[in-house]
Structure 1
Amino acid sequence: MLFIVRMVLLSVHFIVASLVGLVVCLVRPFNPDNSRIAGRLYASLALPILGVRVQSERLPVRPAPCVYVANHQSNYDLFVMGGIIAPRTVSLGKKSLKYVPLFGQLYWLSGNVLIDRGNALRSRQSMAKTTETLRHRNTSIWFFAEGTRNPSGQLLPFKKGAFQMAIAAGVPIVPVCASSYMRHIDLNRWNSGTVLIEALPEISTTGLGPEDVPTLLAQCHAQMQQRIRELDARVVQGDLSADT
């Protein structure tokens, strides 16, 4: 019963937050800071409604452009990670998102990059344009490098795009790890559970070329997998104190 009540309240909140976000975006369309504002609009009430506590450590905020790489678990990531989006950070999404009522239009007007995965040429053009954004517009890019939702806690192989872009633009990779909340939260409980999120030290791409993509990808994947396991162990053990 509690789950059903939460889903009803979450749906209402989602619609209201989308409408407010659209108003903001219509005033300043395609501003790269719109994503941060929209993320906070979605997360602000959604987390209390869900009964989920998010504890963030070493938040992914840096003054210069970078490529954020995060693990992707479910559609709830919008609420779980929405509150930690750094200023002037946009993401890549499927072109079809543009047609999702309210959210799609907000996503597009927030300055996020829409990729046509069914058209290789247009996809490459979009990636090239995004690389130029990293180089010259003081804007960071957020990637879910697995390319699909994965609640298992065991990272899927990463796609190369984020790492190719980071090397081409000469910007660092910042891994962002979230504990495997889909395995630990229970939305039928008043206190559903806690999600631990941590940004790892940035990985430099200085001096790297296209031939270094596999090594960079493997390094990031290994670091994130290890840290996600550690975060999961802390959740299971109830060790939710700040890890310094």
Structure 2
Amino acid sequence: MLFIVRMFLMGLHFIVVGALGLLIGLCRPFNPDNSRLFARLYGHPAVKILGLDLKTEVGPLFDQPPGCVIVANHQSNYDLFVLGKVVPPRTVCIGKKSLKWVPFFGQLFWLGGNVLIDRGNSAKARKALQTTTRTLTQENTSIWVFPEGTRNSGSELMPFKRGAFQMAIDAGVPIVPVCVSRYARRLRLGSLRSGKISIRSLAPIPTTGLSAADIPQLIQQCQQQMQQCIDAMERDVQVA
């Protein structure tokens, strides 16, 4: 019964935020701070509705000035709500082009100034990624990327794609890893307290002076740090 109530409230919440967000987005279209605002509108009420116990330790993320590449693990569609609290100012996201057709959310994603990529067209995808260098260096804006490229609720991170790391090197900006504990398989939305989730950001990884030849090592370093952090958070969640 509680699950049904929650899903009804979440559906209503999704529609209300979508309508409100569209009004805001139309008043200030493509403002780079729209995404943070929309994330807050989605995230804060949803965490309460879903009964999530959310713990955040993201000092390094908010201490880093805008103009960095943020990489995070991606588990489920609930990430939209779980991560809403930790999106820093002037941050946009990279997503697949088809997202803009999702009712309400897709239009907000577009009006938020996020980067839409046609993954079925490699030439257009490369061109879209090239524009991110200007976004990072000239527009004082950070870019949030899920480097696994798809949802992954398993215990091990999937291989990271090169795009985020190439962007960071081209722009000469740091990479800030954000780690989320493995909550997707533990969610119990029919319970009063549906699950504990930890989010932790790691120290920025500098890219100044690096080249394309350094990407494999950079990916390995980032993925290893994130995996160790996620494993540590998992142990803490299980003990608590």
TM range (shorter): over 0.9
d(CA) in 2 for partners of 1:64 and 1:50?
Answer: 31
- How does 1:141-160 map onto structure 2 within 5 Å? 141-160=143-162
Structure 1 partner of 2:31? 31
SS in 2 for 1:114: strand
Structure 2 partner of 1:88? 90
RMSD: 0.8
The answer to whether residue 206 in structure 2 is matched with residue 201 in structure 1 is: no
Q: Which stretches in structure 2 are left out of the alignment for 5+ residues?
A: none
The answer to whether residue 147 in structure 2 is matched with residue 181 in structure 1 is: no
- How does 1:1-244 map onto structure 2 within 5 Å? 1-59=1-59, 60-61=61-62, 62-238=64-240
Using the size of structure 2 for normalisation, the TM-score is: 0.97
Q: Percent identical across equivalent pairs?
A: 57
Moved more, 208-217 or 128-137: 128-137
Q: Which amino acid is the alignment partner of residue 22 of structure 1? A: L
d(CA) in 2 for partners of 1:82 and 1:216?
Answer: 27
d(CA) in 2 for partners of 1:70 and 1:208?
Answer: 21
Number of equivalenced pairs? 238
Q: How big is the shift at 1:58?
A: 2.5
Using the size of structure 1 for normalisation, the TM-score is: 0.96
Q: How big is the shift at 1:84?
A: 0.8
Distance 1:4 1:196, change over 3 A: same
Q: Which stretches in structure 1 are left out of the alignment for 5+ residues?
A: 239-244
Question: 1:117-165, CA deviations, whole angstroms, 9 ceiling, x for partnerless residues?
Answer: 1111111110001121111110000000000000113100001000000
Structure 1 residue ranges, 4+ long, deviating more than 6 angstroms after superposition: none
d(CA) in 2 for partners of 1:133 and 1:90?
Answer: 9
Question: 1:148-191, CA deviations, whole angstroms, 9 ceiling, x for partnerless residues?
Answer: 00011310000100000000000000000000011223111101
